A = this chain, B = another copy of it.
Amino acid sequence: MLKDEIAKRSTIIEDEINRYLKPNEPGELYKAARHLISAGGKRLRPVLSLLSAEAIGEDVNRILPAAVAIEIIHNFTLIHDDIMDKDALRRGVPTVHVRWDEPTAILAGDTLFAKAFEILTECNVDAENVVRASRVLADVCVKICEGQYLDMSFERKSEISEKEYIDMIQKKTAVLIAASCSLPAILFGKDEKIVKTLWNFGLLSGTAFQIHDDVLDIIGGDKIGKDWCSDILEGKKTLIIINAKKRGVEIEIFGKGSAEEREKKNAVEKLISCGAIDYAKSMAYDYLKEAKSNLYTLEKTQARDLLEEIADYLISRDY
């Protein structure tokens, strides 16, 4: 059911992306810009935008450009992040800087960034609200840059607090989900209270989503589409690692780059038995609960139920 409802909306998004992001000259630049977005992805963010518009009783067609702009921004950040993190694969295809080269990947990302702000102006609502939405989306992009910078700098810092970690993932991941949920309310000129409600729903769900992602890296098994324990091997200071450290548990393979299966298994068992995994899971659950409590201030509709179901899915998915 949820799957069908998501599919129905992501099909609309797919068509709009193709309409707004046509092949153009220079051909290779546009191929590079469209490469990752064409390779798929769940279109989670634009679907949240459509559902948010429905949940406030408005016509989704008038804000489709905003939903597309958000998905394009998401893809721009992935292209640039992959360069910075030196990742070679994403969505089962070579990343843009690997398939082409770094200069092309930088430009492909920049092109998408610019396109997103161009497309946003196509929303069929009052100009004042488009200006507000543009300001919020631009500010969200600044925060995403800050979050990515913090994420990289944490690898060089010895001590990261739980608070610093939450601040980082909220900037890097959650604010764009918050924008996905609240931009429709801004575009339709809704009360600040409703805007805030949807922002908080997205921000807190997005935080839960990222914590769950970190948990999956450790106990997700084969389905996650990347190597088991890769965050641990890369030395990422996730909530789980921070909590284990607080409990005096040392993970030998942390930041080692590679490890034997037996060593990884040992690390995972340690993280489970010390309670760090359960701690992270309960944190994700708490953020989700708080996210949903925001939602309940909106009138009960099918769209609101679907937003709730998606939020539940975000921390129950096993890949």
Within 8 A of B (CB), among A76-112: 80, 83-84, 102-104, 106-107, 109-111
| Chain A, interface SS category | helix
Cβ–Cβ contact B146 & A110, under 8 A: no
A interface vs B, CB < 8 Å? 25-26, 28-29, 80, 83-84, 102-104, 106-107, 109-111, 113-118, 120-121, 126-128, 130-132, 134-135, 137-139, 141-142, 145-146, 148-150, 152-153
Which of these, B26, B83, B121, B128, contacts A149 with CB under 8 Å? Answer: B26
Which of these, B110, B114, B127, contacts A128 with CB under 8 Å? Answer: B127
- Please name all residues of chain B whose beta carbon is closer than 8 Å to the beta carbon of A29 when the two chains form the complex: 145-146, 149
Least distance between A31 CB and chain B CB atoms (Å): 11
Least distance between A134 CB and chain B CB atoms (Å): 6
Q: A127-B127, A127-B128, A127-B130 are in contact. Are A141 and B26 (CB under 8 A)?
A: no
- Please name all residues of chain B whose beta carbon is closer than 8 Å to the beta carbon of A150 when the two chains form the complex: 26
Cβ–Cβ contact B138 & A131, under 8 A: no
Which of these, B109, B132, B153, contacts A26 with CB under 8 Å? Answer: B153
